[in-house]
Amino acid sequence: MKKIAFVFPGQGSQSIGMGKELYERFPVAKAVFDAADEALGFSITNMCFNGPEDELRKTVNTQPAILTVSIALYQVLKENGLTPNIVAGHSLGEYSALVAAGALSFSDAVQLVRKRGLFMQEAVPLGEGSMAAILGSERQLVVEICEKAQVEFGSVQAVNFNCPGQIVIAGKTLAVEKATEMLKAAGAKRAVILPVSAPFHSTLMKPAAEKLAVELSKITINDASIPVVANINGQAITNKQEIEVSLVKQADHPVEWEDCVAEIINFGATTFVEVGPGKVLSSFTKKIAKEIDNLNVEDSNSLEKTLDYFKEVR
């Protein structure tokens, strides 16, 4: 029997209308949206389906919205007999992975990621922090140039090691701009400033991590029923104490996504299913491991394709 990995996307994958078809077709998906609205005390469902775009893009809304859509999709897959052997999620997606693994209740997770979004936004005033994607540069070079830029211009670090040739840096706005100039001069193919409202996963997120630790101490975290690969080190964990520690650290530490994918492959998974809006993680996986079968589920069409694939391989 093939081992299957479910991977869950993070911020940036949102789009208006996400999850609507599934909400209308599957009672289990509708139940997730209804539970999210109840837990949050407002209609995140309406925001997912109708926007407006500028509201959905706010971190404090994006995080619970993507989590809700991802878990609605997960429940539809589960109802159709498809469950993972191992899970992981990129940044915010790690919370979706932990819900899928039974470590967090959905109700706790959706409230937690809304607070996480708020804490991250509060940690750095709007406009004072930014992020940039560096394309076509070596990992070591990006780290070294960020260290140089940091000495001169303020806080900046490599924060997402997504796949070969794609690393994201984050920090103070000026420091990020200067680091991108230095990286281009050192041979990076492209450097793209990202449309985000805060420097996620950088050391500037320390205040957010501290507030998150307080919130995490108030909720029940269970041992995971299947391995969850942690962003902070690419290690598979199931222990509830380790899960709590890794979620706190995750806020102000880099996302080691390349290492996460390597760990999932090392575990023996040969098929990855991206569960949630967009196909960002699928594109990363293709660059990290070409031999892996890559599927995604974000709407009715992709759901049918994925279910058909598993009917054939079984």
Q: Is the pLDDT of residue 59 over 80?
A: yes
Active site members: 91, 201
DSSP bridge pairs for 89: 8
Among 83, 68, 84, residue whose Cα is nearest residue 29: 68
Read off the pLDDT of residues 223-252 as tens digits, 9 standing for 90 and up.
Answer: 999 999 999 999 999 999 999 999 999 999
Question: How far is 11 from 195, CA to CA, in rounded Å?
Answer: 11
* Domain ranges within the chain, ordered by starting residue: 3-123+204-313, 133-196
Q: Is the pLDDT of residue 1 over 80?
A: no
In this structure, what token pair is assigned to residue 200?
Answer: 């996620």
Q: Which CATH class is domain 133-196?
A: alpha beta
The answer to whether the beta carbons of residues 48 and 70 sit under 8 Å apart is no
Question: How far is 166 from 35, CA to CA, in rounded Å?
Answer: 36
Q: What is the pLDDT of residue 314?
A: 64
Cis, bond preceding 52 (omega within 30 deg of 0):
yes
The DSSP code for 277 is: S
In this structure, what token pair is assigned to residue 59?
Answer: 């971190």
Read off the pLDDT of residues 78-130 as tens digits, 9 standing for 90 and up.
Answer: 999 999 999 999 999 999 999 999 999 999 999 999 999 999 999 999 889 99
Predicted confidence band at 195 (pLDDT cuts at 50, 70, 90)?
Answer: confident
pTM: 0.97
Question: How far is 115 from 112, CA to CA, in rounded Å?
Answer: 5
- Measured CA angle at 203 (ends 200, 205), to 5 deg: 50
CATH number listed for the domain at residues 3-123+204-313: 3.40.366.10
Among 118, 131, 124, 186, residue whose Cα is nearest residue 157: 131
With DSSP H G I counted as helix, E B as strand and the rest as coil, what are the percentages for the chain, rounded to 5? Answer: 55, 15, 30
